[in-house]
Amino acid sequence: MMGSWKPFLGVAWILFASITGTVAESTFLYSKDGLNFTFTLAAAADSKDLFFRISAPSKFSWIAVGTGDKMDGSMMFLAYPAADGKNVTLSARLADSHHEPVYNDKINASLIASPDEPNGIIEAQYYIAAVCRNCTGYPHQTFSLTNPAQDFIFAVGPSGSNHRILSDSASFSIPRHSFYGSFRIDMKEVTFQNVTAAPALGTAMSDGASLGDELKTGDHDWASIIHAVIMCIAFVVGYPLGVFFLRVMDKVMWHAWVQGATVGLTILGTGLGLYISRLYNRSKNVNSAHQILGLFILLGVVTQFILGYLHHRIYKAKQRATKRIKVHKFALGPLVIIVGLANGALGFDLALKEYLVTPYVVVFCIFLVTLAAAIWFKMLRSKRKQNPEFLGGLSGGQLGSYGFHHGHSQRANESEIGLVGMEARDHR
């Protein structure tokens, strides 16, 4: 019975507050952990417009405030630097579970220009003044202009120049937060008739505002990092090591075990890749070059494993090489390793970590060149054993051309014989 009176009490309070001119806005302020996050809110009881200001250090790639006490069902206002690095882009989004919120153009939110307090990035600080028109109608968590303890959430993206976003697009896909938390505001203190302008940015926490759960600092997307570590171990270390065991150490079974274990790692890493794909707008449709190539590469390495295994079985039974091994050794094998390595660079690009692309390419080139050099020396050595005059008869220039043309020369056949002989040894 009592519940049915509640809305009337709320309306009566708004009318009373409007007449007596009580507090017109409320400010939530968090000034620990280098954050200095300020949110000041005023609401119009008649039009249901929300007027707000947000300020936070511009070292954070993005900043946001959302309704409710959790991401799921929250209506969020995100801001990040515009393409010119001076203005800001406001993006109104709806969140569903722990996934990147999706821009929603039906939420009528925009920045409001004000000559005395302009929007933009000024002295390394975001300044945002905005309005969301008729803002209570969206399908989000319980949000009411009469709630004395209305929940809100806030979050900021990773900081530093490596994570800088510069975009005019309201649907720009963002990286995951580094800090997030929640707070409450007494909506009765901020809701009045005829509110038509953004409140001034507050400088202290209002009485009607309070911090919710403790702030979560240092949040990371561990799944994405583990995916990257697993895939880099597989393609930069695992598969090249397998080749090293075969070509340099003449250990076919070591090669088989290492490549088998690395295929297992690749399957695990791909599973994680598919899991993280769901989190971000840039990857949830699994249509980026990185993801499509990654799935083909998985197919490639599994095929490689099957070809190697079938060859091994036939070799043991019949003591002869098979055509499969040529595909395994000279076509699919080198192709999947090199494309897999290159796909890591596309991965860093997709994860908005372009700054890691060059160091990654340098590391994998060092690995590849070292491996190629080890194989080359090994081949020279085995030729020398088979034909002691071989090296003595070659000048430096000839050595170079041997490396490139051995596949078509008399010596190439010797090389093939060497490898087949080696397989015979290790298949025993």
Which residues here bind ligand HEM, judged by CB under 6 A?
64, 66, 70-71, 76, 78, 98-101, 153-155, 174, 176-177, 180, 182, 221, 224-225, 227-228, 231-232, 235, 270, 273-274, 276-277, 279-280, 283, 286, 290-291, 294-295, 297-298, 340, 343-344, 347-348, 350-351, 353
CB atoms within 10 A of CB 278: 13
Q: How far is the CB of 50 from ligand HEM (least distance, A)?
A: 15
Among residues 105 and 416, whose Cβ is nearest to ligand HEM?
Answer: 105
Q: How far is the CB of 278 from ligand HEM (least distance, A)?
A: 9
Among residues 93 and 311, whose Cβ is nearest to ligand HEM?
Answer: 93
Contact 284, 295 (CB under 8 A): no
CA max distance for the chain:
106
Q: How far is the CB of 399 from ligand HEM (least distance, A)?
A: 34
Measuring CA to CA, which residue among 195, 88, 204, 174 is closest to residue 131?
A: 195
Q: How far is the CB of 383 from ligand HEM (least distance, A)?
A: 34
Q: How far is the CB of 303 from ligand HEM (least distance, A)?
A: 14
Contact 30, 196 (CB under 8 A): no
Among residues 162 and 413, whose Cβ is nearest to ligand HEM?
Answer: 162
Among residues 10 and 300, whose Cβ is nearest to ligand HEM?
Answer: 300
Q: State the Cα–Cα distance between residues 110 and 123, nearest whole angstrom.
A: 23
CB atoms within 10 A of CB 264: 13
Among residues 15 and 229, whose Cβ is nearest to ligand HEM?
Answer: 229
Q: How far is the CB of 372 from ligand HEM (least distance, A)?
A: 20
Q: How far is the CB of 341 from ligand HEM (least distance, A)?
A: 7
Among residues 208 and 340, whose Cβ is nearest to ligand HEM?
Answer: 340
Q: Return the structure tokens found at 364.
A: 């994998």
Among residues 333 and 418, whose Cβ is nearest to ligand HEM?
Answer: 333
